[in-house]
C-alpha cells in the first residue's frame, strides 16, 4: 500500500518532526510502498495535490534539518469537512476517497490539533460506513496543549521553553531603571492557559516573576486585577504580569468580532487593553509585550524532548495503522514525572475532535492569579534538552519549501 | 587608585560583557585597587550608591555567566546632566566629583549610547576645567548601531542575529496557508535603520524575504508603500515586510506625543498602522509582529563575536585610561570584512555625544525599499558564532541582581 501524511492547523516547532517520524518509520515498513505528502492539509487530497516525499526528503541530513525547521513544510489549512449527513457531503467524501483510492492509499495520517482531529474522525467514520479499509490516524500537535486524552501535545514543550526563556529575558530587561514599572506579557491561548501557566517554571531558576499569572480558565475582573497589581507594586519595583490572549475583561469577549472557519474568534490585544487600564487607573510606567507568532515558530530554542517525542509519536502512528487501527489518535500517557517516562498509546479520535482540555483549576491558586508548584512537576520534563541547531552564516538553517518540486 | 564603572541607556545583550571586560582588565592592572560599580548609571554617583564589584563578581564562572546575561546588572538610567554653564550645574558637578574623590576614583567608565556619551563628554570637560585628574572613558553600546566614529557598536550584532533568526522563523510561519497574506515586522530603530536593514542578511541563506525593507532614512509614502505591496503580492503568496519603528507615514511624526528625558519621542505602533492600511486599502489577510524588547535582550541567541568584542572593548577602555586618556570613547575600526578584522582605538567623545550615525543611503536601493549586497558584507561578520549558553532546568541561567548585596 501507499500512505499519505498531511499537516494542519497553526504552525509549531514540532510538526515537521512528526512528519519525519511518519516518513522514517514508513521507509522501514515493508508493507508500505510510496509515502505521499498532501499539500495544505486535507485540501491536498480534495484537489489531488500530493507529492512523493522521497523526492522531497532525500537524505538523513534532510530529515535532521526538517526536524528542526519550524512551521509546516507541506503547508497547512483550516478546512472544516461537512458533517456526514450535511447536504452535498456525500459528494465531497466520495471525491476524497476516490482520490485516496486512485493513489492506492492504505493509511492517512493527519498531524494537527482538535480541529484536525475532527477531520480524522469524520473520514474514519465515512470509511467505516462505506466499507473502505483505509485507516485514518491522528497525530496530535498544538502549542496550546489543549487536546484531551493525551498527557501533553507535541509543539507545546518547545513553545513553553521559548516562552520561559523569553519571559526571563524580559524580567532582566524590565528591572534596569530605578523607576517603578509594570510589564504585561501576552501569551497565546484562546481558551486554555497552559502556555501562560508554564511561566511558573521560572521559579525553579529562582525567579520570583511573573508576579501575577492570569489564565482564561478563571473569571477576570478589571477591579481585582488592579488590586493585584497595586499589591505587587508595593513589594516589587518591576512588576511582571503574564496573561493569556483569551482573557475576557469582566466577561466581555466582544473585543473582536471576526471568526475563523471553525467559529473561533480571532482574539488579540488583551495585553494592550490591560496596559491602557494600568496607565489610566494606576498611572505608572507600563508596557505590554506580545510574544506573537514567535512562541510557535522559534525553533532556534526548541525543546529536544519535544522534538524527539514528536518524531516518536509520528513513528508510532505508522505502527498503529499497520496494526489496523483507524479513527484513533496517538496520545502520550505519563508514567512518572521523575524520572520522566511516557508511553505512546492510541485514543478514540472522537474523544478529541473539537474538544478542549483546560488547565486544571486545582493548579491555580484561590486568588486566580498564580500557579502551584504541582504544575511545575508536570511542565518541567517537557522543556528539557536543546537541539543542536544547524547554523549557516550565523543564522539557523531551515529546510525550505522550495525543495518541494512543484 | 580605584575605578568606577556604570551602565546607562537601554539594555542590550552585550552591556554586561563590557562590564566584565572592565572588571577583568582592572584585576590585572597593578595601579588599580578597588573596582566599584555605580548603581543605575550616573545616578549611583550622584546618590553615592556604589558597590565593590569583587563582592558581586566572585569567580570566573560568575564572569562567564554575567557575559551571557542580558540587560544591565548594575541598573541603568536615562539621566541628562545639565550643561556646564546652566544654573545650578556647578553644584551638581561639584557633588559628583566630591563623591568620586571620596572613593579615590581615578577613572570612570560609562557603558552606553549617544546620550551616555553626552555624560562622559560633560564630566571630562568639567574635570579638565577644574584641574581634576580623573579620567572619563566611554564604552559604546546600543542595538541601534547609530554611534558615529565607530564601525559598529557592541549589542548590535546580537540584536541583528536575533532579528535575522526570528524573521526567518516568521517567514516559515507565514508561508503555510494557501491564502495570500502580508506580514509586517516592526524592528527597533527610531532614526537609524541599521537593525531593520540587517534582515537583508537572510539572502545569504537563500531567503527571498523580507521582500520589502523600509528604513527611517528614506521618506515613506503610504501610496508608494501600497504600490510596493501590490507589486510583491503579484509575485509572492506570503509577502514579508520589515519596517523600522521610527518610520513616519507621509512625514507624520505625530503618532505619539510623549518624549523621554532626552527629548526623544516614544514611538510605537508603525507596524499596527501599516497593518490597518493594508487591510483597508488592499483587503487581504494581514498581520503585524513587533519584535519589541526581545530584540535587545534575547541573549539565548546572542552573537559570540558581539559578546567577545564587547568584553575586549571594555578591557581596552581600562588600558586607555591607564595611558591617561580622558574625554574619549572606545571605537572599532574595521580593517577588513573578509577575513574580519577590527582594531580598537579611541575617539574624541564630543564627536559622538548626542550624535547619530545613519544607515548609508548608498546601501539603500533607489526605490527606497531594499538593501544592497554591499551591506551584507558589512553586517555578516557581526552575527557570527554562538555562545555556549549555560542552561539550568531547560532554561538559560542568568546572573541575578539579587547577587548584589544591598
CATH number at residue A135: 3.40.50.450
The number of angstroms, rounded, from the C-alpha of B95 to the middle of its chain's C-alpha atoms is: 30
Q: Name the DSSP letter for residue A402.
A: G
- Facing B205 at nearest CB: one of A77, A297, A393: A393
Q: Binning pLDDT at 50, 70 and 90, where does residue B252 land?
A: confident
Residues B221 and B102 in one domain: no
Write out residues 95-154 of A within 8 Å (CB-CB) of B: none
**Is B80 domain-assigned?**
yes
Provide, as residue numbers in chain A, all residues whose Cβ is less than 8 Å from the Cβ of B293: 170, 173, 287, 289
Crossing angle of helices A89-102 and A114-130, rounded to 10°: 80
pLDDT digits (tens, 9 = 90+) for B60-107: 999 999 999 999 999 999 899 999 999 999 999 999 999 999 999 999
Kindly state whether residues B122 and B219 are assigned to the same domain.
no
Interface A–B counts its CB contacts (< 8 A) at 164
Nearest C-alpha neighbor of A35 from the set A309, A406, A318:
A318
Read off the pLDDT band of B404 (50, 70, 90): low
Q: What integer pLDDT is reported at residue B402 of this predicted model?
A: 57
Per-residue confidence (pLDDT) for residue A402, from 0 to 100: 57
Q: What is the pLDDT of residues B279-289, one digit of tens each?
A: 999 999 999 99
Mean pLDDT along residues B170-182: 92
CB contact under 8 A, B297 and A169: yes
Query: Taking the model in full, what pTM does it have?
Result: 0.95
Q: Is B119 helix (H, G, I), strand (E, B) or coil?
A: helix
With respect to residue B221, please indicate whether it lies within any of the assigned structural domains.
Answer: yes
Q: Is the pLDDT of residue A268 over 80?
A: no
Mean pLDDT of A173-184: 92
Sequence-distant (≥ 6) Cβ neighbours of residue B139 within 8 angstroms: B18, B22, B109, B110, B111, B112, B154, B313, B314, B317, B329, B330
Q: What mean pLDDT comes out for the span B142-159?
A: 98
Residue A145 sits in the same domain as residue A169: no
Predicted confidence (pLDDT) per residue in A96-105, tens digit: 999 999 999 9
Which of A118, A144, A306, A308 is catalytic? The answer is A144
Indicate yes or no: CB of A172 within 8 angstroms of CB of B70.
Answer: yes
Are B302 and B217 within 8 A, CB to CB?
Answer: no
Percent of chain A with pLDDT over 70: 95
Say if residue B105 is in the same domain as residue B195: no
Q: What is the pLDDT of residue B170?
A: 98
| ω into B264 cis (within 30 of 0) | no
Contacts of A292 in chain B (CB under 8 A): 289-290
Mean pLDDT score, B211-236: 97
Measured distance CA(A4)–CA(A109) in Å, rounded: 6
CA distance A323 to chain B (A): 32
Interchain contact, A172 vs B297, CB within 8 Å: yes
Please, which residues 203-242 of chain B have a Cβ atom closer than 8 Å to chain A? 204-206
- As for the ipTM of the complex, it is 0.95
Mean pLDDT in residue range B229-254: 91
Q: CA nearest B394 in A: which residue? A: A384
User: Do the chains contact at B395 and A164, CB–CB below 8 Å?
Assistant: yes
Asked if B71's CB is within 8 angstroms of A173's CB, the reply is yes
Containing domain of residue B281, as a range?
Answer: 159-297
Whether residues B339 and B264 share a domain: the answer is no
Torsion of CA A201, A168, A188, B182, to 10 degrees: -150
Q: A292 vs B294: CB contact, 8 Å cut-off? A: no
B394: nearest CB among A287, A380, A391: A380
Asked if the structure places residue B361 within a domain, the reply is: no
- A34 and A136 in a common domain: yes
Residues B267, B187 share a domain = yes
- Give yes or no: residues B131 and B165 share one domain: no
Consecutive H or E run containing A135: strand A135-140
Total domains in chain B come to 2
Interfacial A residues in 163-202 facing B (CB < 8 Å):
164-166, 168-170, 172-173, 175-178, 201-202
**Cell output for B285:** 489577510
pLDDT at A341 over 70: yes
Q: Are B257 and B239 in contact (CB under 8 A)?
A: no
The strands making up A35-38's β-sheet, listed across from edge to edge, are: A50-52, A35-38, A2-7, A105-112, A135-140, A328-337, A340-348
For A289, the closest of B293, B299, B396 (CB atoms) is: B293
**Could you tell me if A380 lies within 8 Å of chain B, comparing CB atoms?**
yes
**Predicted confidence band of residue B390 (pLDDT cuts 50, 70, 90):** very high
Domain termination residue (choose one: A313, A336, A355): A355
CATH of the domain at B276: 3.40.50.460
**DSSP helix/strand/coil, A11:** coil
Q: Is a pLDDT exceeding 50 seen at residue A260? A: no
Per-residue pLDDT band for A178 (boundaries 50, 70, 90) equals confident
How confident is the model at residue A401, as a pLDDT?
67
In whole angstroms, give the CA distance from residue B9 to residue B265.
15
Residues B188 and B147 in one domain: no
Question: If DSSP codes are grouped into helix, strand and coil, which group holds residue A341?
Answer: strand
B406 in any annotated domain:
no
Q: Which of A358, A295, A350 is nearest to A155 (CA)?
A: A295
At CA B377, angle to CA B375 and CA B381, rounded to 5? 120
Whether residue B391 lies inside any domain: the answer is: no
Domain end, chosen from B331, B354, B377, is at B354
Question: Residue B261: is its pLDDT beyond 60?
Answer: no
Kindly report the average pLDDT of chain B as a whole number.
94
Angle of helix B15-28 relative to helix B304-322, nearest 10 degrees, comes to 40
Percent over 90 (pLDDT), chain A:
90
Hunting for cell 579615590 — which residue is that?
B104
B210 and B242 within one domain: yes
Q: Please provide the distance, in angstroms rounded to a whole number, between the alpha carbons at the two ends of chain B.
A: 24
Domain-embedded: residue B382: no
Phi, psi angle pair for B274, to nearest 5°:
-70, -35
The mean pLDDT of B172-200, rounded to a whole number, is 95
Q: pLDDT category, B177, cuts 50, 70, 90?
A: confident
pLDDT at A400: 85
Confidence of residue A309 (pLDDT cuts 50, 70, 90): very high
Alpha-carbon gap: A206 to the closest alpha carbon of chain B (Å): 9
Is residue B180 domain-resident? Answer: yes
Residue A228 appears among annotated catalytic residues:
no
Contacts A298 to B, Cβ<8 Å: 166, 169
Q: Which of B354, B369, B392 is the last residue of a domain?
A: B354
Q: Kind and range of the H or E element at A374?
A: helix A373-379
The answer to the question of residue B379 being in a domain is: no
Cell numbers at residue B150, please?
565607530
Q: How much is the pLDDT for A343? A: 98
- How many CB atoms within 10 Å of residue A371? 24
Q: Which residue of A has its CA nearest to B72?
A: A176
> Are A150 and A162 in a shared domain?
no
Contact A176 B70 (CB under 8 A): no
Measured CA to CA, the distance from residue B356 to residue B333 in angstroms comes to 17
Question: CA–CA separation, A141 vs B93, rounded Å?
Answer: 61
Instruction: Tell me how far apart the alpha carbons of residues B178 and B156 are, in angstroms, rounded to a whole number.
Output: 36
Please tell me whether residues A139 and A272 are part of one structural domain: no
Burial annotation A129-163 (CB, 10 A radius, 16+ → b, else e): eeebebbbbbbbbbbbbbbbbbbbbbbbbbbbbbb
DSSP A266: -
The answer for B 282-341 residues in CB contact with A (under 8 A) is: 287, 289-290, 292-294, 296-301, 303
Amino acid at each position: 500500500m501507499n500512505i499519505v501524511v498531511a499537516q494542519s492547523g497553526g504552525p509549531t516547532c514540532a510538526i515537521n518532526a512528526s512528519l519525519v517520524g511518519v516518513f522514517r518509520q514508513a521507509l522501514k515498513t515493508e508493507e508500505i510502498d510510496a509515502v505521499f505528502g498532501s499539500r495544505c492539509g486535507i485540501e491536498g487530497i480534495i484537489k489531488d495535490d500530493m507529492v512523493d516525499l522521497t523526492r522531497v526528503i532525500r537524505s538523513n541530513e534532510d530529515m535532521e534539518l526538517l526536524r528542526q525547521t519550524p512551521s509546516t513544510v507541506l503547508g497547512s489549512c483550516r478546512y472544516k469537512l461537512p458533517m456526514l449527513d450535511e447536504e452535498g457531503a456525500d459528494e465531497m467524501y466520495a471525491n476524497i476517497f476516490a482520490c485516496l483510492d486512485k493513489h492506492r492509499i492504505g493509511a492517512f495520517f493527519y498531524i494537527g490539533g482538535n480541529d484536525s482531529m475532527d477531520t480524522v474522525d469524520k473520514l474514519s467514520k465515512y470509511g467505516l460506513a462505506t466499507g473502505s479499509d483505509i485507516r485514518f490516524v491522528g497525530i496530535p500537535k498544538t502549542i496550546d496543549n489543549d487536546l484531551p486524552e493525551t498527557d501533553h501535545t507535541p509543539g507545546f514543550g518547545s513553545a513553553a521553553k521559548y516562552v520561559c526563556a523569553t519571559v526571563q529575558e524580559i524580567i532582566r530587561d524590565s528591572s534596569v531603571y530605578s523607576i517603578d514599572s509594570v510589564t504585561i506579557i501576552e501569551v497565546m491561548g484562546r481558551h486554555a492557559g497552559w502556555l501562560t501557566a508554564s511561566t511558573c517554571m521560572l521559579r525553579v531558576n529562582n525567579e520570583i516573576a511573573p508576579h501575577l499569572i492570569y489564565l482564561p480558565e478563571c473569571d477576570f475582573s478589571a477591579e481585582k486585577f488592579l488590586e493585584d497589581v497595586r499589591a505587587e507594586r508595593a513589594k516589587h519595583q518591576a512588576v511582571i504580569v503574564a496573561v493569556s490572549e483569551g482573557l475576557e475583561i469582566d466577561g466581555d469577549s466582544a473585543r473582536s468580532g471576526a471568526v475563523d472557519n471553525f467559529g473561533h474568534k480571532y482574539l488579540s490585544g488583551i495585553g494592550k487593553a490591560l496596559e491602557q487600564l494600568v496607565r489610566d487607573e494606576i498611572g505608572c510606567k507600563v508596557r505590554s509585550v506580545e510574544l506573537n507568532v514567535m512562541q510557535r515558530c522559534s525553533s532556534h530554542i526548541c525543546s529536544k524532548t519535544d522534538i524527539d517525542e514528536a518524531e516518536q509519536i509520528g513513528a508510532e502512528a505508522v505502527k498503529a495503522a499497520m496494526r489496523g487501527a483507524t479513527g484513533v489518535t496517538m496520545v502520550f500517557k505519563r508514567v512518572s514525572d521523575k524520572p520522566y517516562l511516557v508511553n505512546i498509546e492510541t485514543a478514540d479520535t472522537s474523544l478529541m475532535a473539537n474538544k478542549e482540555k483546560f488547565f486544571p483549576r486545582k493548579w491555580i491558586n484561590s486568588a486566580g492569579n498564580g500557579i502551584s508548584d504541582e504544575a511545575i512537576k508536570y511542565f518541567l520534563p517537557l522543556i528539557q534538552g536543546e537541539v543542536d541547531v544547524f547554523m549557516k552564516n550565523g543564522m539557523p538553517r531551515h529546510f525550505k519549501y522550495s525543495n518541494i518540486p512543484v
